[in-house]
Structure 1
Amino acid sequence: MTSLPGDSDNGGSAKEPRPLVCARCGTQAQAPQPTWTCSVENGIRHYFCDACSRENLRAIEGRLDSAWW
């Protein structure tokens, strides 16, 4: 079995899940949302709500290598 960084294999109760927060507007979601965008920047995950993702689609796609499109 593999653990994520910061996870404990010592048993006990699981950590309460933290709400997702949009890195741009601060909107919160209690569970993963299929319409949200996840970006890994400098090794850190950033989540963007569907509204911010739509508003910034050109900038998001502009960072992709041409092999992605």
Structure 2
Amino acid sequence: MTSLPGEPDQGGSTPEHRVLVCARCGAPADGPPPATWTCSVENGVRQYFCDICARENLRAIEGRLDSSWW
């Protein structure tokens, strides 16, 4: 089961199909998160961003990293 943006991760024994959407623009992903999408954990919540939104906001995303990462 994949958590939707804005939902905490929860384990469960009943898998259900959920459409993953970009937390910024709402673009849907077909199946599991594509390798080109970015995953971010903000305030304990996992959020996914499509490749277009991630590229457009790359500087802001990288700006949050500690200097040890770059």
- Calculate the TM-score normalised by the size of structure 1: 0.79
Q: How many positions carry a matched residue from both structures?
A: 61
Larger Rg: 1
Aligned to 2:4: none
Q: Are 1:19 and 2:19 counterparts?
A: yes
SS of corresponding position for 2:40: strand
State the Cα distance separating 1:20 from its structure 2 match. Answer: 1.0
SS of corresponding position for 1:7: coil
Give unpaired runs (5+ residues) of structure 1.
9-13
8 Å CA contact 1:37, 1:48 repeated in 2: yes
- Calculate the TM-score normalised by the size of structure 2: 0.78
Q: Which runs of 4+ in 1 moved over 4 A?
A: none
Q: Take 1:38 and 1:49, find their aligned partners in 2: how far apart are those partners?
A: 9
Q: Take 1:22 and 1:68, find their aligned partners in 2: how far apart are those partners?
A: 25
Structure with greater contact order relative to length (CA < 8 Å, sep ≥ 6): 2
Percentage of matched positions with identical amino acids: 70
Aligned to 1:35: 36
Give unpaired runs (5+ residues) of structure 2.
1-8
Q: Take 1:54 and 1:18, find their aligned partners in 2: how far apart are those partners?
A: 25
Q: Take 2:59 and 2:41, find their aligned partners in 1: how far apart are those partners?
A: 17
1:7 maps to amino acid: G
